[in-house]
Amino acid sequence: MLSEKLDLNVRLLLQAIQGEGNPPLESLPPVEARKAAAESMQPVRGTPETVRSVEDLRIPGPLGEIPIRVYTPEPDAPRAGLVYFHGGGWVIGDLDTHDVPCRAIARRSGAVVVSVDYRLAPEHKFPAAVTDCYAATVWVSENAARLGIDPQRICVGGDSAGGNLAAVVALKSRDEKGPAIALQAMVYPVTDLSSFDTDSYQEFAQGYQLTRTMMDWFRDLYLGSAEDGRSAHASPLLARDLRGLPPAVILTAECDPLRDEGEAYAKRLKDAGVPVASTRHAGMIHPFFSLAGAVPQALEAYQQIADVVRAAGRQSSSVGAVSI
């Protein structure tokens, strides 16, 4: 029985999905799961918003070229940049699956959005995705002028596994004296792969799109060992020291197994003195951020991210400059 907490639009969507009787993604080989996920999301992604230009590029990475997609809005002036990492459990997802939110954020924020098509598991296990995402962020920083980006206003962001990667890139940038990150924006991020025992995992383990079984599948395909899951570059919640990280925006969904770990990361950041704005979206599920065609609250989330990205770098605390 579905929770009474669910938003009506979400409830109707879940009922429709259950009525289709499609096999769970985790029962499919990864290549087939990628295709099935993309096809199932297509009708509910929403309408792509118009930006001035969209350009697909291939940039150098430590282990080969990395495909990226650059969304450039109006007007033509140095502006903030958002390096965006798509969700999909490090196993599924690509530039096309997250085209709608990237376009929306670019148009609404006036920032250049660079979406990164990092290598996926199980073909490329941890830390391949981290390596690609960090390399892409470094490339954006080094090529900011070419992209029309103010190098002091580079942000990182992502949803789900992409939110995890954004948090990890922020950690690596601090620890390795890499690009100065103005903001980290995370939508229902995975922050702890060492344990799935939170209250939200217990309450929403089954029936709300992202399931406990699916997360087990993602984790097993992504990590090479249980020890990997205790690394801060897989589980940023386990990082010893979060001081000195960039301001953070964290959005969570009320009816999502990942809710509690996202909010726990927000608390740890706050305790470390990092400016944080954290919002729980009532009645929402994982992955509402990718369901703009069926769930209007996704559009509100796009605007939230756009607002803080627009403000990034203008004040000492970009989070404090925007009320969300």
What separation in angstroms does the CA of 163 have from each of 90, 234, 235, 264, 289? 11, 11, 11, 14, 12
Q: Note down the domain range covering 263.
A: 8-311
Residue 195 DSSP SS3: coil
Q: Is residue 299 domain-resident?
A: yes
Amino acid at 6: L
Beta-strand pair 248-255/66-72: unpaired
Strand partners, 70: 55, 114
Q: Is residue 319 domain-resident?
A: no
Q: pTM of the entire structure?
A: 0.96
Q: Is residue 320 domain-resident?
A: no
CATH of the domain at 97: 3.40.50.1820
Q: Is residue 195 domain-resident?
A: yes
pLDDT at res. 221 = 99
Q: Cα angle vertex 282, ends 276, 283, to 5°?
A: 145
Per-residue pLDDT of the chain (324 residues; tens, 9 = 90+): 788 999 999 999 999 988 888 999 999 999 999 999 999 999 999 999 999 999 999 999 998 999 999 999 987 777 999 999 999 999 999 999 999 999 999 999 999 999 999 999 999 999 999 999 999 999 999 999 999 999 999 999 999 999 999 999 999 999 999 999 999 999 999 999 999 999 999 999 999 999 999 999 999 999 999 999 999 999 999 999 999 999 999 999 999 999 999 999 999 999 999 999 999 999 999 999 999 999 999 999 999 999 999 998 675 445 544 433
Q: Is residue 322 domain-resident?
A: no
Q: CB–CB of 196/216 below 8 Å?
A: yes
Between helix 128-142 and helix 161-175 the angle, nearest 10°, is 60
Residue whose entry in the numeric block shows the structure tokens 């985790």:
26
Q: How many domains does the chain have?
A: 1
Residue whose entry in the numeric block shows the structure tokens 């992209």:
147
pLDDT at res. 309 = 97
Q: CB–CB of 187/289 below 8 Å?
A: yes
* Closest listed residue to residue 206, CA positions, set 215, 219, 194, 195: 215
Other CB atoms within 10 A of residue 268 CB: 17
Return the active site residues: 160, 256, 286
